[in-house]
A and B are shown apart, each in its own frame.
Chain A
Amino acid sequence: MLLSRVADSLYWISRYLERAEYTARLVDVAVDQGLGRASSFTGSAVERLYQSVGLEAESQDVSALAGGALFDLASRNSVAACVTAARENARQVREEISSEMWEQLNALYLRVRQMRDEGSWSARTHHSTRAIIDGVRLFKGITNGTMSHGEGWQYLQVGQFLERSSETASLLTLFVPEGTGSSTMQEPRDQVEWVTLLESCSAHEAYCRYYTADVRAGRVTEFLLLNPEFPRSVRFSAVRLEAALRSLAGYSARTAGRAERLAGRLRASLEYAQVDEILSDDPQTYLTNISRQCSQIHTAVQQSYVAYPIESALPA
């Protein structure tokens, strides 16, 4: 038996941490890109990365942008805001998670706070962002190792993979051409941008192993959207998401259906999609559609298991 409030908190812990990890990685890549450039650091790829978390890169300097993305508590997407929110949710459901999970999350929270207060992170940005990324990964590892993979654990999976699908699709939207386009190879300058995109998803090495180091727009899109084996691809996430939702339906006596159906449809469409068709048709709309479906899945989960109206749930 799982209280709706507890399920909701578990779901959000995962979503917030996934978002925090994503943002930290993004800053790491963006700052790294800036270091490799002679003139203005804000190549358009870096601008796009910051745009994906709602930050305008044009007029700001390296430190301010990175600092904002990492520590601006007023922003919902900053690492500090996300880690704080995740930890607050975990605090409310400590009975449901293992004590090691709590200790790790609390430690991460205190570390981020310390970084923010001390301000020394900017001298060693890579070190700091790596610490955050590793902190989240450690939490996930501890979770998988110490928490029973029951109903509560499944909510953690739903949050993680829903956030990941949504994030990756949104990020891709900023890189693919608008309107109809072709999948032919772009100029070398664009190669750097696609590499930046891959790195922000920790996907560069895996991409090279799969395709070779020849970075092409069509292949990158295919890799991040449709690859069945790379853990950060939208398709991979959709598969895991559907499995978790199906599992939840099994636990709940409620005949929900809607959430699994939506997730199943998303997964199937990604399984049968072809990147050429997507790119030659309207990639932006396609990706926006995926984000919209993720949003619908979120609403369906809320309506089925968390915030359902009383009348629909009274025992017969």
Chain B
Amino acid sequence: MSQASSLKLVPPLHPARPGPPGGSLFSQYGLDKAYDEMFDADWKARAHYRPLIEELLIASPDELRQRQLEADRAFLTQGITFTVYGDDQGTERIFPFDLLPRILTGSEWDTLERGLAQRLTAVNLFLKDIYHEGRILAERVVPPELVYSCRHYRREMRGVKVHKDIYVSVAGTDLIRLENGSFVVLEDNLRVPSGVSYMLANREVTKRVFPGLFTRYNVKPIAHYGQSLLATLRTLTPANREPTIVVLTPGVGNSAYFEHAFLAREMGVPLVEGRDLLVHDNIVYMRTTSGLRRVDVIYRRVDDDFLDPLAFRADSYLGVAGLLNAYRAGQVSLANAIGTGIADDKAVYAYLPAIIKFYLSEEPILSNVQTYLLDNPSDRSYVLDNLESLVVKAVGESGGYGMLIGPHSTRKQREEFRDQILASPRNYIAQPTLAFSRAACFMDSGIEPRHIDLRPYVLFGDKVTMVPGGLTRVALRKGSLVVNSSQGGGSKDTWVLAD
């Protein structure tokens, strides 16, 4: 080893003049008003990131690039990919993965865990209520017209007894971190939340390409998600016999198919499509080579609209004729229940704090983002006057579609949104453009910060369980605030430290 390399210095982490650690790796790193996960405003490295920074400075950029390539390859060879719609070559893309883990302290996570458990508990009580007595509507804590005008409120579910009143078994709640470092809920995903397979894959890949990091940290494990999910699904049936649980997928054409297959494998349960199932005398069966086998619980990754051609969209090939009847007869359980979309409607979201207080008589542990309801005249006029500084979202959409990001929009786009809002105000909400937190990412030019969010997955069975962390999504384009996979997003491994 030459003299030069043996003298490779680790630049001090508390430099005399505030700035990123010396050397080329962090030279492009800048701070702005957004909370930076790694550094505070004075460029002091946050304690829980120090070992990571040290490891990064010891490694050369080439080594890091090597590890990133290895990670990309691992995703491809393990088949952790998603198919691009319309691509008949069968080529698959990996969901871009950033090498550097996002790290949360144990105490930060504790708060999130408690807050999410509280929130999901309230959501399930809300769903039970609005599909039965409707106390919260009668008392106008939530306006009835808001609920009844929502496309996702399913009248077919009125009065239906759902086993143990568990409507949402699996939730994915998106959190962002504000400038002051506190976490707030950006939105709930209570219908068919996805991405958990990436959470698990990211951990496996990081363990493989960056094992040294794990010796410097005590990271809480997450590999037991499959078991937890299985246990959660089991609670949906009466316990007198071993239930048959299946994962219902729309099939190989669906971009999340990898995840459906992955979870079925993790849990050791069959992966089925609508055409494998049939309903006879209100009992659901799957067609096997050994005859018809009764199905008790369906973890369905098919939207309500496509679940049953006799009840919902008649042109759907993805569902099972008669499934709604079997469900209403209590002969099969669905995770998640039909009709949960009302609770993740973005307008109903604004009422979540009130909902939590109503059912639990508690203050929400996790706050919402300030939200303007465009059905409300004063909110609407404020928003229309300030479109350039707000984010406008369509209430029933996901994937980052149907969204206007004011500061990044053109005049024409704002005009179009204005028209859409005026045509159908109930279907839009607006929120301030938030500079949500940024985390260090390994880009071509070195380490740079990018905006991230956090999607923990919450399981609701006999009790609420969560694997620590969740999926951290990254807006890979510089300055972008859109983290969704369908629009230039990527993800990171998320660590919760056992401290």
Contact = CB atoms under 8 A, between A and B. Distances in A.
B271 A4 contact: no
B154 interface: no
B293 A1 contact: yes
B290 A91 contact: no
B261 interface: yes
Contacts of B157: none
Given A95-B271, A314-B280, A151 B291 contact: no
Nearest to B78: A99
Contacts of B261: 94-95
A95 B90 contact: no
B276 A3 contact: yes
Interface in B265-298: 265, 270-273, 275-276, 278, 280, 285-294
Given A5-B276, A94-B261, A95-B261, A248 B79 contact: no
Interface range on chain A (Cβ under 8 Å from partner): 20 to 34
A310 B290 contact: no
Contacts of B79: 99
B75 to A, nearest CB: 14
Nearest to A92: B252
A92 B252 CA distance: 6
Given A1-B293, A251-B289, A252-B290, A95 B264 contact: yes
Contacts of B378: none
Contacts of B291: 252-254, 308, 313, 315
Contact of B292 (A99, A106, A315): A315
A128 B288 CA distance: 40
B243 to A, nearest CB: 14
B265 A95 contact: yes
A91 B291 CA distance: 24
A252 B292 contact: no
A39 to B, nearest CB: 44
A91 B89 CA distance: 12
Contacts of A252: 289-291
A106 B90 contact: yes
Interface string A83-106: 000010001101100010000001
Contacts of A91: 90, 252
Contacts of B106: none
A273 interface: no
B425 interface: no
A309 B3 CA distance: 80
A249 to B, nearest CB: 10
B251 interface: yes
A310 B292 contact: yes
Interface string A296-316: 000000000110101001110
A301 to B, nearest CB: 10
Interface string B33-48: 0000000000000000
Contacts of B293: 1, 315
Most chain A CB within 10 A, of B261, B280, B287, B294, is at B287
Most chain A CB within 10 A, of B264, B273, B278, B292, is at B292
B292 A3 contact: no
Given A1-B270, A3-B272, A92-B251, A253 B292 contact: no
Contacts of A268: none
Given A91-B90, A95-B265, A254-B291, A310 B278 contact: yes
A177 to B, nearest CB: 43
Nearest to A5: B276
Interface residues of B, number: 26
B90 A253 contact: no
Nearest to B287: A4
Interface in A148-198: 151
A252 B288 CA distance: 9
Contacts of A254: 289-291
A90 B280 CA distance: 30
Contacts of B252: 91-92, 94
Contacts of A213: none
Interface in A268-316: 305-306, 308, 310, 313-315
Contact of A3 (B90, B251, B278, B287): B287
A98 B270 CA distance: 16
A254 B288 CA distance: 10
Interface string A64-98: 00000000000000000000000100011011000
Contacts of A310: 278, 280, 292
Contact of B89 (A110, A308, A313): A110
Contact of A5 (B265, B275, B292, B294): B275
Contacts of A35: none
A2 interface: yes
Nearest to A304: B289
Contacts of B292: 310, 313-315
A308 B79 CA distance: 35
Nearest to B275: A5
Interface string A113-148: 000000000000000000000000000000000000
Contacts of B265: 95
B264 A1 contact: no
Contact of B289 (A2, A109, A110, A315): A2
Nearest to A307: B287
Nearest to A155: B289
Interface string A1-20: 11111010000000000000
B294 A251 contact: no
B44 to A, nearest CB: 47
A1 B280 contact: no
B442 to A, nearest CB: 28
Most chain B CB within 10 A, of A4, A308, A310, is at A4
Interface string B285-327: 1111111111000000000000000000000000000000000
A248 B278 contact: no
B275 to A, nearest CB: 6
A308 B278 CA distance: 13
A306 B90 CA distance: 27
Interface of B: 79, 89-90, 251-252, 261, 264-265, 270-273, 275-276, 278, 280, 285-294
30 contacts: A1-B288, A3-B270, A3-B276, A3-B286, A3-B287, A3-B288, A4-B287, A5-B276, A7-B289, A91-B90, A92-B252, A94-B261, A95-B261, A95-B265, A95-B271, A99-B79, A106-B90, A110-B89, A151-B289, A248-B289, A252-B291, A253-B291, A306-B289, A308-B291, A310-B278, A310-B292, A315-B291, A315-B292, A315-B293, A315-B294
**5 A-B pairs with the lowest CB-CB distances in the bound complex, closest first:** A313-B291, A305-B289, A4-B287, A253-B290, A252-B290
Given A3-B270, A110-B90, 9 more contacts: A1-B270, A3-B287, A4-B288, A95-B264, A248-B289, A252-B289, A254-B289, A310-B292, A314-B280
Interface of A: 1-5, 7, 87, 91-92, 94-95, 99, 106, 109-110, 151, 248, 251-254, 305-306, 308, 310, 313-315
